[in-house]
Structure 1
Amino acid sequence: MEIIPADRFAAPDGTAHYVEHLRVPALSVGTYSIPAGGADPQGPHTEDEIYVVLSGRGRFTGGDRTVPVGPGTVLYVPAHEEHRFHDVTEDLVICVMFAPAEGTAG
């Protein structure tokens, strides 16, 4: 077991920041942080993805749908779908799960 200190969630330079915590062939899990007012530069992934918002507030657009997000919001993004967080009003900390592991579905 690994205990992950909360300061590892913080974006070190005020930009979006992803830290992977677990990788096995079937999935990978990490934390993604975006500071208030920050941008989400990510593009579509080759794997399905689940986001669980742990803290913070903002909005999320996936495909043609935009929704508000806050603690407890769970989002599913199918592989290859355009998506991003935006209008971040409170620092976001998000648990991210990829299946299979990020970058392996090519």
Structure 2
Amino acid sequence: MRIIKGAGEWAQPVAGTANDWVEHLRRPDLSVGTYCIPAGGADTQSPHTEDEIYVVTAGRARIVTPDGEAEVGPGAVIFVPAGEEHRFVDVAEDLALLVVFGPAYGSRGLRA
């Protein structure tokens, strides 16, 4: 057992960066991290080679994919399959996301 301290907690991105990503746990079959985007900020990620689950722990935004879009806030759980374009937009409040990748982030090929 391991308690993952700080997972899903808001962290201000480093000056000069659009957002903040911290990987807290990495195993061959999954990884867990926190992704933060400040209010009014830009989501600069590209599609990933792994499936992912987002759990919104703080903030409000919209997620946009080729299949549609949805407003998200604390408690929302979002599944994004590997390779699907997705982006958080209209970040109205500092957004903190607990992210679970399966298998581990970047393990299926080049990191996107």
Give the alignment's TM-score, normalised by structure 1: 0.91
Match in the other structure for 1:94 = 97
Q: Which consecutive unaligned segments of at least 5 residues does structure 1 have?
A: none
Q: 1:11 maps to what in 2?
A: 13
Q: Which residue of 2 aligns with 1:28?
A: 31
1:21-100 to structure 2, matched below 5 A, reads 21-100=24-103
* 4+ runs deviating over 3 angstroms: 5-8
Single out whichever of 63-72 and 3-12 deviates more from structure 2.
Answer: 3-12
| Per-residue deviation, 1:3 | 2.7
Q: CA deviation at 1:2?
A: 4.7
1 CA distance for matches of 2:9 and 2:30? 24
Task: Indicate the percent of aligned positions where both proteins have the same amino acid.
Answer: 55
Unaligned runs of 5+ in 2: none
* Residue 70 of structure 1, CA deviation: 0.2
Contact 2:62 2:89 in 1 (8 A): yes
CA drift of 1:26 comes to 0.4
1:76 is displaced (CA, Å) by 0.2
TM-score by length of 2: 0.87
Provide the aligned length of Structure 1 versus Structure 2.
Answer: 106
CA spacing shift, 1:2–1:73, aligned 2, 3 Å: closer
